[in-house]
Structure 1
């Protein structure tokens, strides 16, 4: 017994039949002609019956098969067939549902008529050739026009019986075009130009019937579309609504084919062939507006969204879509949203298709290799570009604001790096693409497009130091105390910094340790907290000298000065002004796992540090006493001169 009987013969009917069979629902599809039967392939869940049925035959089949429902997906102009199906369902008490083709949109330049006769009457009052795309059954309605044999060009199916019937009506030679669709906009336009047509006649066959391609072609060729309205005003479901209904009715599992597609820069010219094929086959396109607008196909459904969870939820609520493409800018593996989407939709089967990344496209445009470039993104994320540019000869970065180039140029110029060349690319691959190169010093006021990238070329880049220990004499000195080189080296090793650490330097003095922390945690952030005005000025000078752009200076007394700062991963305390316990308390309130290194000179401070460690329950509690001595030349002899012994205490909870 068949659960569903589908009256097909249309694109919608074929689609519903295939959908049901794919979900293993026993289905019988009805088509009127052998031609229609070729569009459906029978299998264990789908049987195809060919031939026209009258109302009596339909009643007999419905009574015999006792289906759960009948779906009427016949052509919108097959009014008599629809009436027969509905009547047969009423008599056999069978559930009836109408599947309607979506109507085309209203076109202001078109002429709308109610019937073939009305179209013929309108055209008879005009001059110029006419391309008829209404099919062979309607041709007789146009034969009453004067000069119809010379003016009309009829496009019909290339079946022998159809061609013979058309010839019998007087359509012959070049005025009779035997072709099988679908017909693209380009092909429609070519035919209009070939036959110098001023009018194109079509029925409102909706998206599936190639309606929009006909209208677009006519408007492109300055031809007037003559649109014949539908004979019945019906209520029913679209194909998408029908699929959703069937999913719920039969409790079917929704398993769409989902593709994450990198679309390149945005222009269709940077799409891969694989990407174009995927877009052509998609029945739903998802992505940010700029991206979907650049690649969507006529009549394609679109969901404008870039947030992963919202995308997942939407797909789950719309089971009518079988082939879904989520478009992502550039390449899916290059600073893309693909990673989060794959995590959120881990239970779905997803195909990932690569695209052309902005770095590949841009570097080829400016003629530079990118295999030796540092590649980063400053778009919506923290990135210390200055540090990269100082230590790398070539840095590629994605920007994201209209003043991004100017901000970068001002910083470079402020750090005496104004001669760095900035290659700038905006709106890559689009018609308004802009690519140029200038020194940073000439771009400090530049305002460009947010959709931009930059490649900084610094011929004077210096190698990034791999170890601690900048010599004391390298720092700008004053009266403020400075943690000596040997002590800095051991203290920094105890901190165990990562490149993205968030650090405090409490009681920063000249800022020597702040500078070294900033150079080590070059993609993190360092806050130097200092209460003395002269010391704060020294930190500023040293920040500029060592290009420590990720170092922020806070003038004030701890712990109050720490209150509004971001959560630290590491903290160094070189001076506490008697507030050691309060400072440590605030640090562990911000981050219970913060790693703290304390330098103590006096035994009283050591005692206070140990008492604090015990009070707050630090499992790791290490004390190192460091006594360093340096040689001093006295005549032809060298004597070792001892520095004050330092206690280096490391605290961290497990």
Structure 2
């Protein structure tokens, strides 16, 4: 492991010692004088091999390429605390870059950033797309399914590619989901002498590969058979793979309203069945997280398949029975109990896991479950709601009302 230098003249605590410098494909030519000086005067420079190759070497300067995984380098950087260190990044270090990772470990007053235009900004400028009206996503090291929720007719997406094969993989996915008429514009090595632009419909892209450093601009056009992911909760049951153990869409919409997903919050979905509640929770905000707890392996497999299909592949599935399966999980912001409600101690365990402001929601379709919810309301407070839904179904040559099983919903906001 690279070692720290000597400590003859460490900077004062709280003073900037770490500089983040965003580089474009034009290298040092695109840097401001302050950013260039930060690179030249640093005792240690961290960066990828490509970034290090863009800046001239300085005699006596320590230069360290990122290890794999990159997070292994964080202790090396911290070991040099108080000495001038420079970290090289692509474009804006705080937009899908190393900046956010470092900011979680170091106070902002110890860092200075000199961002360059991000790939998103450059791509929007090339295409004349208003950036505030464009969805920006990273596929670098992330599952391709992340684009699914954003595929809607007329939508514009800017996507950071993982490598040169990403555009072809995305094109195939678009055709599969009924968006073959969408236009892919691939911008390679933007800002440098080897910049190149390629454009084709997804259906016509084929297997062509491009430079590993590329950004995809996607103008979505839906075919008649397209399968967009709805933006509101209460998506149809047919959108999920399930064995009948699924919260019906009308009840699901009400349940999500009681769970009240915010931004960047974590849900425990207990007795998850198809995972529909957890998936719709995550679809409410791109930063939301969820843990689906399900004892039956075949249902756990359905949860994983549904999460990928609906564009939230990061949904965590825990195969086991609550409350034992809850041990070691991160503290939730909300809990939904959809199965196992009559398990002794489960409601209390979930209530104890929640901080003030947390939400606990449980649904019941049985007399025994209703008794548990009535007792929980008596002990803990909260609100009981009874839902009765009828759906029109064929009745001879006409239509008649067919009732769904009534559902009791108990909801509690922790004070």
Q: 1:391 to 1:261 in 2, by over 3 A?
A: farther
Q: Deviation of residue 358 (structure 1)?
A: 1.6
Relative contact order, higher structure (CA 8 A, sep 6+)? 2
1:494 to 253, 258, 272: 258
Report the Cα distance in structure 2 between the residues aligned to 1:343 and 1:515, rounded to whole angstroms: 27
- Contact kept? 1:525, 1:550, Cα under 8 Å: no
SS at match of 2:123: helix
Q: 1:362 to 1:403 in 2, by over 3 A?
A: same
Q: Deviation of residue 494 (structure 1)?
A: 1.5
Aligned to 2:116: 355
Aligned to 1:549: 311
The unaligned stretches of length 5 or more in structure 2 are 67-72
Aligned to 1:188: none
Higher Rg of the two aligned structures: 1
SS at match of 2:215: strand
Q: 1:528 to 1:560 in 2, by over 3 A?
A: closer
Q: Deviation of residue 294 (structure 1)?
A: 0.9
Aligned to 1:646: 407
Aligned to 2:150: 388
Q: 1:284 to 1:484 in 2, by over 3 A?
A: closer
Aligned to 2:90: 329
Aligned to 2:343: 580
Q: 1:497 to 1:400 in 2, by over 3 A?
A: same
Q: Deviation of residue 304 (structure 1)?
A: 1.8
Aligned to 1:508: 273
Q: 1:610 to 1:483 in 2, by over 3 A?
A: same
Deviations, residues 416-452 of structure 1 (Å, cap 9, x unaligned)? 3333333334444455555423344456756655543
Equivalence map 1:358-507=2 (5 Å) = 358-366=119-127, 368-380=129-141, 384-390=146-152, 393-401=155-163, 403-430=165-192, 433-441=195-203, 450-460=212-222, 467-470=232-235, 480=244, 483-498=247-262, 500=264, 501-502=266-267, 504=269, 506=271
Q: 1:410 to 1:561 in 2, by over 3 A?
A: farther
Deviations, residues 254-274 of structure 1 (Å, cap 9, x unaligned)? 469757353432432761343
Equivalence map 1:162-181=2 (5 Å) = none
SS at match of 1:597: strand
Q: 1:471 to 1:328 in 2, by over 3 A?
A: closer
SS at match of 1:335: coil
Q: Deviation of residue 548 (structure 1)?
A: 1.2
Aligned to 1:278: 37
1:268 to 27, 52, 66: 27
Tell me the TM-score normalised to structure 1 length: 0.46
- Contact kept? 1:263, 1:270, Cα under 8 Å: no
Aligned to 2:79: 313
Aligned to 1:302: 62
- Contact kept? 2:267, 2:336, Cα under 8 Å: no
Q: 1:280 to 1:476 in 2, by over 3 A?
A: closer
- Contact kept? 1:407, 1:444, Cα under 8 Å: no
- Contact kept? 1:620, 1:652, Cα under 8 Å: no
Equivalence map 1:227-306=2 (5 Å) = 248=8, 254=11, 258=17, 260-268=19-27, 271-274=30-33, 277-278=36-37, 282=41, 284=43, 286-288=45-47, 289-299=49-59, 301-304=61-64
Cα RMSD (Å) of the superposition? 5.2
Deviations, residues 225-283 of structure 1 (Å, cap 9, x unaligned)? xxxxxxxxxxxxxxxx9xx7xx85xxx66469757353432432761343565258625
Q: 1:523 to 1:450 in 2, by over 3 A?
A: farther
Report the Cα distance in structure 2 between the residues aligned to 1:272 and 1:335, rounded to whole angstroms: 20
Report the Cα distance in structure 1 between the residues aligned to 2:78 and 2:306, rounded to whole angstroms: 50
Q: 1:550 to 1:446 in 2, by over 3 A?
A: farther
- Contact kept? 2:271, 2:293, Cα under 8 Å: yes
Aligned to 1:48: none
Q: Deviation of residue 648 (structure 1)?
A: 0.8
The aligned length equals 388
The unaligned stretches of length 5 or more in structure 1 are 1-240
Q: Deviation of residue 498 (structure 1)?
A: 3.4
Report the Cα distance in structure 2 between the residues aligned to 1:354 and 1:553, rounded to whole angstroms: 34
Q: 1:343 to 1:497 in 2, by over 3 A?
A: closer
Deviations, residues 139-161 of structure 1 (Å, cap 9, x unaligned)? xxxxxxxxxxxxxxxxxxxxxxx
Equivalence map 1:106-117=2 (5 Å) = none
Q: 1:309 to 1:346 in 2, by over 3 A?
A: farther
- Contact kept? 1:286, 1:303, Cα under 8 Å: yes
Q: 1:488 to 1:553 in 2, by over 3 A?
A: same
Aligned to 1:605: 369
Tell me the TM-score normalised to structure 2 length: 0.67
SS at match of 1:422: strand
Q: Deviation of residue 330 (structure 1)?
A: 0.8
Give the structure with the larger helix fraction. Answer: 1
